[in-house]
Amino acid sequence: MPYRAPISDYSYILNNVVGFSQVAGTEKFAEASADMVEAILGEAGKLCEEKLAPLQREGDLKGATLENGVVRTTPGFAEGYDGIKEGGWVAISGDPEFGGMGLPMAVTTAVNEMMSSACLSLQLNPLMTQGQIEALEHHASDDLKALYLPKLMSGEWCGTMNLTEPAAGSDVGALRSKAEPNGDGTYAISGQKIYISWGDNDFSENVCHLVLARLPDGVPGTKGISLFLVPKYIPDENGNPGKANSLKVVSLEHKMGLHGSPTCVMQYDGATGWLVGPEHGGMAAMFTMMNNARLGVGVQGIGAGEGAYQHALAYALERKQGRSPVENGTGAIIDHADVRRMLATMKSDLFAARSIALACAVAIDMGNATGDREWKARAAFLTPIAKAFGTETGIRVAELGVQVHGGMGFIEETGAAQYSRDVRVTAIYEGTNGIQSMDLVGRKLMDGGEAACALIEEIVEQAEAARAQQPRMAEAVWNATEALRDATEWMVSQTDMNERFAGSVPFLLGWARVLGAHFHLRAACAEEGDGPRTRLARFYIHRLLPEHAAHFAHATTGAADLYALSPDDLSAA
């Protein structure tokens, strides 16, 4: 089934739902007019439809391999990457001083989603580079910026992120990688890193690794970690790839999905690296990259879900099965109520997740353009929700896509199962969704709930304004928001963080449900008459929004009943 980029959806959300006009109204992003953004999205959509989407199945069937220490990528991936590189799509939001387009993160977010729908395995490559670009822009020395940023932004060189080690997963502070000063401003980096997405390839001139390691005087834990830029090939005096560095790919992980994306075990043996940011300041620099990547990974989930939805919809429109239960039906399975329910759930949840991600991107853009503390706080608050709900939505939509196909969904030849296998890891990497929820109830409520309450008041005001136009939907959103307010106040009142953590996941999902309803209601109010967006909003608000009550009941139960269950209680009988 050919993929079609949902350009109209992005345009509608940007123009009518998440307030992108505020971004275009700033001096920094004054050139990002509605017409320009639509033209850019149109060009990116063509790339995704014509060059990247045909690679989706190839990446699954003919994944990356390691031959004599050299990574061989899926046939066609090099040409697909060339299309990304030549279009300048790696550095959409990059600083124009170093060759970037300088466009808002909201535009990058939409483009990244399209690429994820078309071929998630390949899109993961530029996503890693984008994160490295942002980290270097904020933390690298002027010399490193001048040498590396133009190459990364042009796509000639690719970037990676090296955090995880065999004994240091989410507990990054337990890492053992070492950095020894060489006496000439460089450092010798030694250690092993695992789960390194796109740790190597056979189509870029160089691969630049951002590596966390500890200096000899680094204290234990995260406060003693530094960040280093370690290239595969050390640049020569002209800035071109020179001699090979002392690093290698030890092996590729055997994964349930994303076969086209080489996930590497990397070994560093005294490899030459350059310090990024201050000594022992590695976590602050790395979090710049990770926060960028968290929104990007949420969008990957949405993109994979969009691909799964389009795949399932095409099948439902064509598959003949049984007698149609509706008068003048098509005779295809889309006539059946349960199939219609699944498709409506998929589409409405994708709209909700997409709107949350774009709202997060708009907040990032406004924070960058204005320096306003409230916009930055909103971006920080929305990031874990965008990441977790975007990926949970992608997983759920891909699962429903298999179900819509029925028995054929379990047969690999249809391609439905690939979306489910590929998207599953997005809930795990860049901080598991459990970690995202703990961040939401922890760091993001350290302001006493100020950023959360500002969002709640905005949702309430919009619901009240919508009463005249959409009274039933507005009332449902208003009531759900009051439940959200109560749950948020309960979280803020808990001084024992474990009480918060015990209900953090349902709390995040409840927030996402209410935000999704808020954006659906906005979409309905911006439409004339009882159109498709209004009908979709009605489905979401009346059928999916009620889930918020169960989420908040779970979220505010506390931790006692969890710890009343002993390990023996949880053991198999």
Is residue 425 within 8 A of residue 258, CB to CB? The reply is: yes
- Quick one: residue 270, left, alpha or beta (phi over 0 = left, psi -120 to 50 = alpha)? left
Once rounded to an integer, what is the mean pLDDT over residues 147-167?
94
Q: Quote the tokens at residue 249.
A: 């790919």
Q: Quote the tokens at residue 281.
A: 């300041």
Question: What is the Cα–Cα distance from 101 to 122, expressed in whole angstroms?
Answer: 21
Once rounded to an integer, what is the mean pLDDT over residues 491-506?
98
Question: Given this model, what pLDDT does residue 1 score?
Answer: 61
Question: What is the Cα–Cα distance from 112 to 52, expressed in whole angstroms?
Answer: 12
Q: In Å, what is the CA distance from 371 to each residue of 29, 78, 243, 356? A: 14, 39, 42, 21
- pLDDT tens-digit series, residues 218-271: 999 889 999 999 999 999 999 999 999 999 999 999 999 999 999 999 999 999
List the beta strands (DSSP E) in 489-534. Answer: none
Q: Which amino acid does the sequence have at 48?
A: C
Is 253 a residue of the active site? no
Question: What is the Cα–Cα distance from 16 to 19, expressed in whole angstroms?
Answer: 7
Question: Given this model, what pLDDT does residue 306 score?
Answer: 98
Is residue 545 within 8 A of residue 519, CB to CB? The reply is: no
Mean pLDDT across the chain:
95
- pLDDT tens-digit series, residues 103-134: 999 999 999 999 999 999 999 999 999 999 99
Tell me the DSSP string of 308-329. HHHHHHHHHHH-B-S--SSTT-
**What does pTM read for this prediction?**
0.96
Contacts of 533 (CB under 8 A, 6+ apart): 12, 520, 523, 524, 526, 527
Once rounded to an integer, what is the mean pLDDT over residues 443-459?
97
Once rounded to an integer, what is the mean pLDDT over residues 441-454?
97
Question: What is the Cα–Cα distance from 149 to 102, expressed in whole angstroms?
Answer: 13
- pLDDT tens-digit series, residues 323-369: 888 888 889 999 999 999 999 999 999 999 999 999 999 999 999 99
Check whether 292 has a pLDDT greater than 80: no
Q: Which of 430, 458, 482, 489 is catalytic?
A: 430
Once rounded to an integer, what is the mean pLDDT over residues 77-102?
96
Is residue 106 within 8 A of residue 96, CB to CB? The reply is: no
Question: What is the Cα–Cα distance from 559 to 110, expressed in whole angstroms?
Answer: 39
Is residue 189 within 8 A of residue 230, CB to CB? The reply is: yes
Residue 121 CA, distance from chain mean position = 13
Q: Quote the tokens at residue 118.
A: 């078309």
Return the minimum-mean-pLDDT range out of 81-85, 289-293, 309-313.
289-293
Q: Quote the tokens at residue 100.
A: 């970037």
Check whether 476 has a pLDDT greater than 80: yes
* Torsional sign, CA 562, 566, 567, 570: negative
Paired with 340 in beta bridges are none
Question: Given this model, what pLDDT does residue 321 score?
Answer: 86
Is residue 201 within 8 A of residue 189, CB to CB? The reply is: no
* Torsional sign, CA 240, 243, 246, 247: positive
Question: Given this model, what pLDDT does residue 328 score?
Answer: 82
Residue 359 CA, distance from chain mean position = 13
Q: Quote the tokens at residue 263.
A: 């996930």
Question: Given this model, what pLDDT does residue 197 score?
Answer: 96
Half-sphere exposure of 29 (CA within 13 A, CB side): 28
Question: What is the Cα–Cα distance from 342 to 315, expressed in whole angstroms?
Answer: 13
- pLDDT tens-digit series, residues 9-59: 999 999 999 999 999 999 999 999 999 999 999 999 999 999 999 999 999
Once rounded to an integer, what is the mean pLDDT over residues 264-282?
96
Question: What is the Cα–Cα distance from 155 to 57, expressed in whole angstroms?
Answer: 24
Is residue 344 within 8 A of residue 400, CB to CB? The reply is: no
Question: Given this model, what pLDDT does residue 95 score?
Answer: 94
Check whether 289 has a pLDDT greater than 80: no
Question: Given this model, what pLDDT does residue 285 score?
Answer: 83
Contacts of 314 (CB under 8 A, 6+ apart): 1
Q: Name the DSSP letter for residue 249.
A: E
Once rounded to an integer, what is the mean pLDDT over residues 381-396?
98
Contacts of 42 (CB under 8 A, 6+ apart): 7
Question: What is the Cα–Cα distance from 388 to 426, expressed in whole angstroms?
Answer: 9
